[in-house]
Amino acid sequence: AQSVTQLDSHVSVSEGTPVLLRCNYSSSYSPSLFWYVQHPNKGLQLLLKYTSAATLVKGINGFEAEFKKSETSFHLTKPSAHMSDAAEYFCVVPQSQAGTALIFGKGTTLSVSS
Amino acid sequence: DAGVIQSPRHEVTEMGQEVTLRCKPISGHNSLFWYRQTMMRGLELLIYFNNNVPIDDSGMPEDRFSAKMPNASFSTLKIQPSEPRDSAVYFCASSLRDEQYFGPGTRLTVT
């Protein structure tokens, strides 16, 4: 069965410092993987998507994620945090190879202090 | 494109009343999803449709909840009768392939 585990429920960083949000996945095949972001009182927005074309995926707002099959990880990073990055981030995997339903991780809340 | 449209954005109702949430997916998308988000349970998939046909409704909490998709451009989620524990933010999302696009959500408060 497909699953994702977000290793931190809350991450706090200072503005201008790097961001690392960790995600491990479990899959019986090489899956697509996503990161979504949810700002306070907003809907979820697709941040980036991995589809096996390249292991390093660049997304919006300077975020990127690296797919590491040997570690079954898909960590989200950003070199320099901005106050506007404060939000909840979800690591996501499709429910099955053929289906369209998604399985969401429990989310990581990113706090950014000045 | 206007994105996924949900209405109303906020709904406050009394216990026992019927509540209807509405969703207009992105034009051309063939899958539609209803989610519920609470602090306690996080984001839960309630039901999803493919080409207007319900595919998986195993997430629908109980018979009080029902969803319909009469055509490719409209879906409803109905709760009858509503209860305080139904208070949550309900999201609709649509997709053409595997990436989903979310609406802004409907914040439901049942008193």
Give residue-wise pLDDT tens across range B38-88: 988 889 999 999 999 999 999 998 899 999 999 999 999 999 999 999 999
**Which site among B95, B99, B101 would you substitute to test the A interface, given the most A Cβ atoms closer than 10 Å to its Cβ?**
B99
Q: Specify the pLDDT at position A5.
A: 95
- Asked if the bond preceding B8 is cis, omega within 30° of 0, the reply is yes
* A30/B110: higher pLDDT: B110
Chains A and B form CB pairs within 8 A to the count of 42
Contact between chains at A107 and B42 (C-beta distance less than 8 A): yes
Q: How far is B16 from chain A (nearest CA, A)?
A: 26
Give Dmax over CA atoms of chain A in angstroms: 44
In chain A, residues with a C-beta closer than 8 Å to the C-beta of B100 are 46, 102
Residue A76's identity, in one-letter code, is L
Contact between chains at B42 and A44 (C-beta distance less than 8 A): no
In chain B, residues with a C-beta closer than 8 Å to the C-beta of A99 are 55
- Name the band, by pLDDT with cuts 50, 70 and 90, for residue A53: confident
Comparing C-alpha atoms, which of B27, B10, B31 is closest to residue B19?
A: B10
Sign of CA dihedral A97, A101, A105, A110: positive
Cα gap A110→A101, rounded to integer Å: 26
* Structure tokens that stand for A6 in this block: 């977000």
Residue A99 has pLDDT above 90, yes or no: no
